[in-house]
Chains A and B, each alone.
Chain A
Amino acid sequence: METLAALGQGFLVALQPTNPMWGFVGVTLGTFVGVLPGLGPALTIALLLPITYTVDATAAFILFVGIYYGAMYGGSTTSILLNTPGESATIVTALEGHRMALAGRAGPALATAAIGSFVAGTIGTLGLTFLAPTVVELALAFGPADYFSSMVLAFVTVSATLGSRPLRGLAALAFGIWLGLVGVDLQTGQARFTFGLLELLDGINVIVVCVGLFAVGETLWLAHRASLRRASIVPVRGSLWLSGEDWRRSWPAWLRGALIGFPIGALPAGGAEVPTFLSYWLERRLARRPQEFGRGAIEGVAGPEAANNASAAGVLVPMLTLGLPTSATAAIVLSAFQGYGINPGPLLMESQPQLVWGLIAGLYIANLLLLALNLPLVGLWVRVRAIPQPLLYAGILVFATVGTYGISQSPIDLVLLYAIGLLGFLMRLFDVPTAPVIIGTIPGPLAEQELRRALTIAKGDPTVLLTRPLSATLLALALTALLVPLLWRRLVRAGLRRG
């Protein structure tokens, strides 16, 4: 009841005359930066920080969370339409989403992504409203050992994205882990694989890997055979809207995605990518027709997109309850609080109820605005594929350059982007799946750091992975996830032989 009253107050704040306008500006800008490869909400908000000197706090935060949520929606668009995910959390979306687009079903793919984002964003925001204090208590119980074990679980589930060629997929994964190791080692300060280049000391930006492998690699791939270029021009067939069957298949995936995404997002080191892998794996396991996966299964778009958006709401849990900046975006938003003389911490909700609840109410509004903005946009986006191909791919490469060079102004980043693009082309030529590279680049180094943290804390005793209940449970889950399908296949085969 208390919460509801506070939320009501929040809506009064968020609906003050100019605030919905700020929300609208935010979600529009957010959708835009989400669509552009390489630009993310963190950078956009950082660059807009000077606005805090001229606009009042509630308006600024409504603008910022609008950008944040908007970028989560926008990210899936290029993945589905062009197979060029601009950020790491939408790679999984491209796996099935682009297949759907190639089958002329870009409309339903975009629609299930947009509605799923709305459903999951709203569930996540409800979770933030009512469960935040409980969730954060649980999240703090996670130590480095537990994180390591959850990464092991993530790696097991990644097997679902390896495609039909597991050896080559694993090689791509190992290559991705190696890419992730480049740079200064956080634990010891030693440079690894930097080949004497200062520019590599901070590591290789995942976005550069992502845009290189997908946007640049895909462009080269399409260029190399005339038949591929013809095949990628697919008129939109049938309805833009979800059919009855699409709805039936989408909604359970949305709910499951939201339930996976929100708690993992709330973990201080959970991240936005791992929930999308988990959701994809789960949908594939639960699908009634798993053979459709890899050929454009709508669940494979609905689930990961929902997980991605719910995790965005989850990230706000430690930020608003404890003042913890657990993602780049959260860190920037917290520094904006400081610009207003507010020091975000555990007492934030008590000391600034107007602002916090106004911000939460702003999230509900942003979600609604995004749905209203994105559903009509589906019709517009599918027409992106009607742009003459020479212009479309020329434009994609120009935007890929903007996202990389525009931010760092380093030609080395640009060389890296194009080199990785060439690699992505070669991988396609050799029929090696590219998604595992990114998947290795993110959880691989995280797993390394968490393992070493855990061992440093435990004075080098590796049994800590088994003696901590959370860690042991997660490892058991990973083992189950690995073995059950194998055993199941054995049983089925044995049954067939007998029967």
Chain B
Amino acid sequence: MPGRRAGIAFALAILALAALVAVEATRIPHSAYAVVGPRFFPFAVAGLLGLLGLLLLLQALAGGLLPADFAGEPFDRRAVAWVGLGLFLNVALIQSLGFVLASSLLFLCVARGFGSTRPIRHAALGFLLATLVFLGFSRLLGVRFGGGLVEGLLGAGA
């Protein structure tokens, strides 16, 4: 990522955050009795973020701030996409498929992203790990992870 543009983008992101915090802070209801109300600190934080955003912007425009470069080595989109897919599938499916199956999928995707070449073996390992964790928790500590296909078979669906 080119340093100057990245620096400007970061400064702008901080300024946007400052604006968001300030706007949201005005929507906090007033309370009469508190000496320092619930809005004081939010506004202070918004102000601090705004100030830092401006300073960062100046610094970036002056050409400072070069994020670590990897000597032209490519950004490994495939690996990041696999990990992201795993996270997405886990959130999307954990309630319908249950913890065990959703976590097995997560395990498989992340392993794939990190260069695993044995999908079947690793899927099985992920399933074993998730099942063990699930059983360990529900048996030893009584923590329930909600229902699901495998959970129902194991007799611990909530």
Q: Real complex partners, A and B?
A: yes
Q: Are A224 and B75 in contact (CB under 8 A)?
A: yes
Q: Are B133 and A398 in contact (CB under 8 A)?
A: yes
Q: Are A48 and B67 in contact (CB under 8 A)?
A: no
Indicate whether A224 sits within 8 Å of B79 (C-beta atoms), given known contacts A394-B106, A455-B35: yes
Q: Are B34 and A414 in contact (CB under 8 A)?
A: no
Q: Are B142 and A47 in contact (CB under 8 A)?
A: yes
Which residues of chain B are within 8 angstroms of A167 by Cβ–Cβ distance?
Answer: 52, 55-56, 59
Shortest distance between the CB of B9 and any CB in chain A (Å)? 8
Q: State which residues 205-229 of A face B: CB under 8 Å.
A: 216, 219-220, 222-227, 229
CB nearest neighbor in B for A392: B114
Residue A418 is within 8 A (CB to CB) of chain B in the complex: yes
Q: Are A390 and B45 in contact (CB under 8 A)?
A: no
Q: Are A193 and B34 in contact (CB under 8 A)?
A: no
A-B contact count (CB 8 A): 186
CB nearest neighbor in A for B92: A411
The A interface, classified by DSSP as helix, strand, loop or mixed, is helix
Residue A168 is within 8 A (CB to CB) of chain B in the complex: yes
Indicate whether A219 sits within 8 Å of B115 (C-beta atoms), given known contacts A181-B41, A452-B35: no
A contacts with B, residue count (CB < 8 A): 66
Q: Per a CB cutoff under 8 Å, which of A165, A174, A192 touches B38?
A: A192
Residue A291 is within 8 A (CB to CB) of chain B in the complex: no
Residue of A406, A432, A452 most packed against chain B (CB within 10 A): A406
Q: Are A398 and B126 in contact (CB under 8 A)?
A: yes
* Bound CA span A48–B109, Å: 34
Shortest distance between the CB of B131 and any CB in chain A (Å)? 11
Residue A287 is within 8 A (CB to CB) of chain B in the complex: no
* Bound CA span A48–B141, Å: 7
Task: Scan A465-492; emit 1 where CB is below 8 A from any B CB, else 0.
Answer: 0000000000000000000000000000
* Bound CA span A453–B105, Å: 48
* Bound CA span A223–B115, Å: 9
Shortest distance between the CB of A402 and any CB in chain B (Å)? 6
* Bound CA span A393–B107, Å: 8
Shortest distance between the CB of B142 and any CB in chain A (Å)? 6
Q: Per a CB cutoff under 8 Å, which of A44, A181, A216, A394 touches B126?
A: A394
Residue A187 is within 8 A (CB to CB) of chain B in the complex: yes
Residue B87 is within 8 A (CB to CB) of chain A in the complex: yes
Shortest distance between the CB of B127 and any CB in chain A (Å)? 11
Q: Are A401 and B103 in contact (CB under 8 A)?
A: yes
* Bound CA span A399–B126, Å: 11
Which residues of chain B are within 8 angstroms of A402 by Cβ–Cβ distance?
Answer: 99, 103, 133, 137, 145
Q: Are A390 and B31 in contact (CB under 8 A)?
A: no
Q: Per a CB cutoff under 8 Å, which of A175, A195, A407, A460 touches B35?
A: A460
Q: Per a CB cutoff under 8 Å, which of B41, B70, B86 touches A448?
A: B41
Question: Using a CB–CB distance below 8 Å, which chain B residues touch chain A?
Answer: 1, 6, 10, 14, 17, 21, 24-25, 28-29, 31, 33-38, 40-42, 45, 48-49, 52-53, 55-56, 59, 65, 67-68, 70, 73, 75-76, 79-80, 82-84, 86-87, 90-91, 94-95, 99, 103, 106-116, 122, 125-126, 129-130, 133, 137, 141-146
11 contacts between A and B (CB under 8 A): A175-B49, A191-B28, A223-B80, A224-B76, A390-B116, A398-B133, A401-B90, A411-B95, A414-B91, A418-B87, A455-B36
Question: Using a CB–CB distance below 8 Å, which chain A residues touch chain B?
Answer: 44, 47-48, 50, 165, 167-168, 170-171, 174-175, 177-178, 181, 185, 187-193, 195, 216, 219-220, 222-227, 229, 388-391, 393-395, 397-399, 401-402, 405-407, 409, 411, 414-415, 418, 421, 429-432, 445, 448, 451-452, 455-456, 459-460
Further contacts, 10 of them, CB under 8 A, given A171-B14, A229-B114, A398-B106 = A171-B56, A174-B45, A178-B17, A185-B28, A188-B34, A189-B31, A191-B28, A216-B87, A223-B80, A223-B83
